[in-house]
Amino acid sequence: MKYPPARTVEVVADVAGVRVPDPYRWLEDETSEVREWQREQAELATSVVFDGLDRSAVRDLVLAQHAGARPDLPRYAAGRWFRVHGSDVVVAGTPYGPGRRIAGLDEGVLSWLAPSPDGRVLAVGVCPDGTEHNTIRLFDVAGGRELGGAPPQVLHSAWAGGVSWLPDSGGFYFFALTGSPEEFRQAVFFHRLGAGTTVEPVPVGASREYTLIQAGERWEVAAHRVGSPIPIAVRRPGQEWRPFLTDCQGTVAGHIVGDRYVAVTDVDAPRGRVVAISLEDPSDWVDLVPEGDTVLRSLTPVGDHLYLSEFDRTFARVRILDRSGTVVGELPLPGRGALAAPHFPLTGLAVGNPAPSFVFAFSTPTSSWGVYGHRPGAPLETLAAPTVTLDATVEQDQAIASDGVPIPYHMVGQGSGPVLVYAYGAANVPLLPSYQSDLAAFVAAGGVVVLAHLRGGGEFGRDWWLAAHRERKRVRDTDLVAVAEHLIATGRATPDRLALSGGSDGGLMCGVALTTRPDLWRAVLPRAPLLDLIGGIRDPYMDFVLRKAWGDPDDPADVRRFLRLSPYELVRPGTFPAVYVQAGAIDPRCRPWHARKFAARLQAAQEGDAPILLHVFDDAGHGAATGNEVAVEQETEWLAFLIRSLGLRI
């Protein structure tokens, strides 16, 4: 394999007194030289991936499964429902009824939408590219015209839910950047319709961390921290903010109900309990639903009820509470699978106006997303039926980790095809038994997918997450090895038919796996990956992530631990499996230089015959705001590499 040449440089970084050679530092820059090298790498990757394959046939397979991709749910206000329909935003009398066009979004990607409580004004976040950076636009619902005077600030993402309207519809709070996206400094803003935007001085500490304002008639709550939110400050409308749960290390994620904050918490309950906290007195906690065998995840206000989402050995369960916290029923789900939910608990608090029915998306590993509605005491209503069903079965099993802990996994497929392990295991984000179109396409091509529930994820509660957090991050990597070795030992896979893929922090997991245990894999496919922990310290956004989840970059001991976990630093000459690294040129989270530097170093170190390929896609970000056509192209090439590497035939 003849790769585009990548020169090396004599650069040594000094990080907290630890000297770290960085021979491919030049690939961090967005110069014409780097862009040309990146283009040549992409051309090489495409030519190798599709050599001997019918590209249109692979694309058709991807499109067939992509038709069942997760939908955006409609939002409710003043008796009407607002949703995206094609490139338009429409309003209708029912969630998916005939709609009237309010606005067209021919350019850009919709990040979020939020109608005012009175239904007269629609706020939307529009991202002009794949970066997730979006700005607020306001529309008059009755006339369908765009209103002037929208806030000029840029929102880094949709993680704080977009905007939080006042109950009187006179204005809204939002969380946005105070400077350039690269600086990654954020603050709470308030916008009064017709009067402009001001900074809201909420006492929330670090300005990089996310904050969402929950605005009620009698109380306002500042929910702080994206992965483990707490109500850090409260106030009566118009009064000064006062600190609330400022020193709470656990999660307290809930909603204002009268004069109480009703929340799911893992404080003194690793699997979660539901509590009511007096908004007058933060020490006054009352248990409503005690900790049990399931993992409690979130609450959603619906009319006079609260819907409690839970994980029962990763499968969804939903119980219904009245406003006093009494369990009054259980939601009849359409199968054993998963509800659609944001990655992070903070985003899940941005529910907008409480709707009269619980509208949710649901899927299983073998059936695509459907949308359903439910009212307490009524039967389940199908609003949009699933469109894709795989000819496959779902099996559950477990591997035993090196410390004796069982690591569950699901196998999705039919027969004894080649196996793709897919995992994440980080940031308290749960990997759930749901439909994912790219994985479904691999199953449809004859493969078997293993969903590995590694420690570090949110599937089994707080203890499961913290077992692979910060100084224990390496536990995730040993869990992954245990799953791979169990698949081989039980005859479900062989190293020449076993592949691995994951994205973002899961891409880092892939990088560690292929550099430390290359013998286990036929192919490894990191996507939108974090691969250089030391370089990440120089990026304000990644520095924020590393300090939360990995350690202190100012501590030499932590820096040395970073070195033992950073794939870019782990590359040594050797024989590696086939590798396909996929990234986005405008990814603001895991910037493309992670992929560039790692691929260059790995290409130079490869002593075997398997290809080391890199494709950085233009107009692609971290995924949330990547346009549909680009996403299909990414999935097509990713799937083609798997088909080629594992000997599948379509």
Query: What would the mean pLDDT of 223-233 be, rounded to a whole number?
Result: 97
Backbone angles phi, psi at 557, to 5 degrees: -65, -40
Query: What would the mean pLDDT of 594-606 be, rounded to a whole number?
Result: 98
**Which pLDDT belongs to residue 207?**
82
613 and 579 Cβ atoms separated by less than 8 Å:
yes
Label residue 503 exposed, middle or buried (CB < 10 Å: 0-12, 13-18, 19+).
buried
Q: Which two tokens stand for residue 135?
A: 């700005």
> For the residues of 413-468, what is the DSSP string, one character each?
ESSS--EEEEE---TT----S---HHHHHHHHTT-EEEEE--BTBSTT-HHHHHTT
pLDDT > 80? residue 370: yes
Of 370, 310, 321, 362, nearest in space to 339 by CA: 362
Q: What is the pLDDT of residues 247-271, one digit of tens each?
A: 999 999 999 999 999 999 999 999 9
Q: Which two tokens stand for residue 244?
A: 């609330």
Taking each continuous run of H as one helix and of E as one strand, the counts in the chain are 13, 39
CA dihedral 83, 88, 92, 96 (to 10 degrees): -60
CA dihedral 399, 400, 406, 411 (to 10 degrees): 0
Measured from the Cβ of residue 330, the count of other Cβ atoms closer than 10 Å reads 12
For residue 374, name the pLDDT band (cuts at 50, 70, 90).
very high
Rg (C-alpha) for the chain, rounded Å, is 24
Q: What is the pLDDT of residues 28-70, one digit of tens each?
A: 999 999 999 999 999 999 999 999 999 999 999 999 999 999 9
**Which pLDDT belongs to residue 438?**
98
One-letter amino acid for residue 326 of the chain: T
Q: What is the pLDDT of residues 300-351, one digit of tens each?
A: 999 999 999 999 999 999 999 998 999 999 999 999 999 999 999 999 999 9
275/262 Cα distance (integer angstroms): 6
**Which pLDDT belongs to residue 492?**
97
Torsional sign, CA 99, 100, 105, 106: positive
12 and 21 Cβ atoms separated by less than 8 Å:
yes
Q: What is the pLDDT of residues 430-456, one digit of tens each?
A: 999 999 999 999 999 999 999 999 999
Q: Which two tokens stand for residue 329?
A: 């029923």
For residue 650, name the pLDDT band (cuts at 50, 70, 90).
confident
Query: What would the mean pLDDT of 461-474 be, rounded to a whole number?
Result: 98
For residue 105, name the pLDDT band (cuts at 50, 70, 90).
confident
Cα of 511 vs its chain's centroid, Å: 19
pLDDT > 90? residue 204: no
Q: What is the pLDDT of residues 268-294, one digit of tens each?
A: 999 999 999 999 999 999 999 999 999
pLDDT > 80? residue 205: no
Q: Which two tokens stand for residue 74?
A: 């409609």
Query: What would the mean pLDDT of 386-396 be, rounded to a whole number?
Result: 97
3-state SS, 71-129, equals CCCCEEECCEEEEEECCEEEEECCCCCCCEEEEECCCCEEEEEEECCCCCEEEEEEECC
**Which pLDDT belongs to residue 251?**
98
For residue 412, name the pLDDT band (cuts at 50, 70, 90).
very high
**Which pLDDT belongs to residue 417?**
96
**Which pLDDT belongs to residue 107?**
83
484/403 Cα distance (integer angstroms): 16
172 and 191 Cβ atoms separated by less than 8 Å:
yes
Provide the 3-class DSSP secondary structure of residue 369: strand
Whole-number percent of the chain with pLDDT over 90: 97
**Which pLDDT belongs to residue 565?**
97
Query: What would the mean pLDDT of 614-629 be, rounded to a whole number?
Result: 96
33/31 Cα distance (integer angstroms): 5
Question: Global pTM?
Answer: 0.98
Q: Which two tokens stand for residue 646?
A: 């594992």
**Which pLDDT belongs to residue 177?**
97
pLDDT > 80? residue 547: yes
Average pLDDT across the chain, whole number: 97
**Which pLDDT belongs to residue 551?**
97
One-letter amino acid for residue 72 of the chain: D
